[in-house]
Structure 1
Amino acid sequence: MSDAPGRPMKYPYTFTAKIAQFPLKFYIQNQWIWRYWFIGIAVASPVFYKIHKMANSPENVSKWAEIRKKEAAEHHH
């Protein structure tokens, strides 16, 4: 058996055939959304990383633990 079919189906009715014949390269090259999606991820990743580091810092975690402890104490009275 060969890796690729000798001739593509006229109408790809199976899901696999649809995926195999989908012109993904054309869409990536000709639609703006793909380019900006990757650029957006590259730009936003460092910002989200900084927010994550600040939110999960030991000082902030202990501060929120205290706040939760106070709230729990208020609800038990």
Structure 2
Amino acid sequence: MADKAKISRPMKFPYTFSAKIAQFPFKHHMKHNWVWRYYPLAVLLCIPVFAKISKLSNSPENVAKWAEIRRKEAAEHHH
């Protein structure tokens, strides 16, 4: 009897956060909820769009324009 397997059962109500995570039905949600299936696809499709927006907003011309606008704004506030 030294190798007796420990018999355990889930809590009726999981009080701790880790117990709630352990009992959450991830498999059911991944199978039946559309968000779990389409979220990775949406992320992959959005990465090129976000990269393009970032490239446009951080272009040298745009950075110089932003700096000039902020310089003028600062000059107005100090006079």
The normalised TM-score by structure 2 is 0.72
Stretches of structure 2 that go unaligned for 5 or more consecutive residues are 1-5
Q: Structure 1 residues 29, 75: CA separation in 2 closer, same or farther (over 3 Å shift)? A: same
Identity of aligned residues (%): 52
How far did residue 34 of structure 1 move?
A: 1.2
Distance of 1:69 and 1:45 partners within structure 2: 33
Whose radius of gyration is greater, 1 or 2?
2
- Which residue of the other structure, out of 18, 21, 39, is the alignment partner of 2:41? 39
Residue 48 (structure 1) shift: 0.8
- Structure 1 unaligned regions, length at least 5: none
> Could you tell me how far 1:8 is from its partner in structure 2?
2.6
What RMSD in Å do the two structures reach over aligned CA positions? 2.0
Aligned length: 73
